[in-house]
Amino acid sequence: MAKIDFGGVSEEVITSDEFSLEKAREVLKNEVVAVIGYGVQGPGQALNMRDNGINVIVGQREGGKSWDRAVADGFVPGKTLFPIEEAAKKGTIIQYLLSDAGQVSSWPKLKACLNPGDALYFSHGFGIVYKDQTGIIPPKNVDVILVAPKGSGRTVRTNFLDGSGINSSFAVYRDFTGRAKERTVATGIAIGSGYLFSTTFEKEVHSDLTGERGVLMGCLAGVMEAQYNLLRKHGHSPSEAFNETVEELTQSLIRLVAENGMDWMFGNCSTTAQRGALDWSPKFRDAVIPLFDELYESVISGKETKRVLEVNSAADYREKLQEELDVIKNSEMWKAGAAVRALRPERR
């Protein structure tokens, strides 16, 4: 492990310099990695491992869109693509990458397919940490491990293809074989992680659920909508309101933050923008602290997971989800966004 200083706090991380792809291949040479689920995380992780020379098979329900997508991506029915239970029986590292609700409904059948010494792999601590709600309690004769990419499944793949990789956390919940950590890190390198940092199943799910509902998605969407609506209320055009709220952030400023940090982005803006950002960022921080406290407590208490399982397990879940997404899509703000994106020079 490499010891890195994170703002005065020392932390050990694993990079491909310490644990090379060649070493990962050696660790995994006798393993069959069964990727169960080909929806969000499954494609990126499966394709990256296949490209890296790992023995990968996919388990997916036959006849659906995800099965067809796996076929289109080159997985061959009967050779590298199987129904879920058959793939799970063939695998020695079983990557359980169905949705959280899907994991709950499929768990009894999946559990019956596990063999002694297998590794049960997650990319989210949800099922294990909230076992009282999910019922996911692995047998004691398997390793239980986690590699959680810090990004969408699509980004796992695109970052791999452009050579940058995506950072991932890793954890070992149970080490039955004595090789659990080695298997975890090897798989993390094989899926294309930029670097790996240690966590626990509990910390992963607590931070992940907070982040998704907070800065990464929920907070971002809510703040954007609030500013857009404010500008429109005061007579600004949809184009002006959207550009000042979303386009400048996503096409310019956030790229500067990614490149060298928030201070560097501030330092490369106008002096007027600098002054406003420095004066107002503490006010926004202080205003949302109570909301984040409420959010974190809701995560820790299990309220958020209960909500997820109740809603996402409903028979009409997909129809209702699409209705909610359509409300966003059909709002003036995001219709303006579609028009602005169509006008970008590279799209002409």
Q: State whether 223 and 270 are in the same domain.
A: yes
Structure token pair of residue 57: 């098979």
Domain C-terminal end among 168, 199, 230: 199
Alpha-helical (H) ranges within the chain are 21-28, 42-51, 65-72, 84-90, 100-111, 126-129, 131-134, 153-161, 180-190, 201-213, 218-233, 238-242, 248, 254-260, 262-267, 271-301, 303-312, 317-329, 332-342
* Residue 38: count of CB within 10 angstroms of its CB: 28
Does 6 map to a domain?
yes
Does residue 31 share a domain with residue 164? yes
Residue 130 located in a structural domain: yes
- The phi and psi torsions of 32 (rounded to 5 degrees) equal -115, 115
Is the domain of 112 the same as that of 231?
Answer: no
**110, part of any domain:** yes
**Are 219 and 246 within one domain?**
yes
Average pLDDT for runs of 10 along the chain of length 348:
78 88 96 95 96 97 92 97 97 95 94 97 94 95 96 90 91 97 97 93 95 95 97 96 95 91 91 94 96 97 94 91 95 94 74
Verify that 19 and 155 share a domain, yes or no.
Answer: yes
**Could you give the 3-state DSSP secondary structure of residue 263?**
helix
pLDDT at position 346: 64
Give the pLDDT score at 16. Answer: 86
Are 231 and 169 part of one and the same domain?
Answer: no
- Is residue 286, in this structure, part of any structural domain at all? yes
* Nearest-angstrom CA–CA distance, 85 and 17: 37
**Contact present, 169 and 147 (Cβ < 8 Å):** yes
Contact (CB, 8 A) for 177 and 117:
yes
Q: Decide if 204 is inside a domain.
A: no
Q: Are 34 and 59 in contact (CB under 8 A)?
A: yes
As a whole number of angstroms, the distance between CA 287 and CA 177 comes to 49
Is the domain of 168 the same as that of 252?
Answer: no
- For residue 132, give the CATH number of its domain: 3.40.50.720
Residue-level pLDDT at 347: 47
Are 38 and 108 in a shared domain?
A: yes
Q: Which of residues 147, 168, 199 is at a domain's end?
A: 199
Q: Which residues contact 171 (CB under 8 A, 6 or more apart)?
A: 125, 145, 146, 184, 198, 199, 200, 201, 203, 204
Residue 207 domain flag? no
Residues 164 and 239 in one domain: no
Residues 190 and 280 in one domain: no
Which residues belong to the active site?
124
Does a structural domain hold residue 209? no
Shared domain for 231 and 318, answered yes or no, is yes
State how many domains the chain has: 2
- Calpha distance 127→198 (Å, rounded): 19
| Structural domain for 280, as ranges | 214-347
Considering the domain architecture, whether residues 24 and 81 belong to the same structural domain is answered as yes
- Residue-level pLDDT at 348: 47
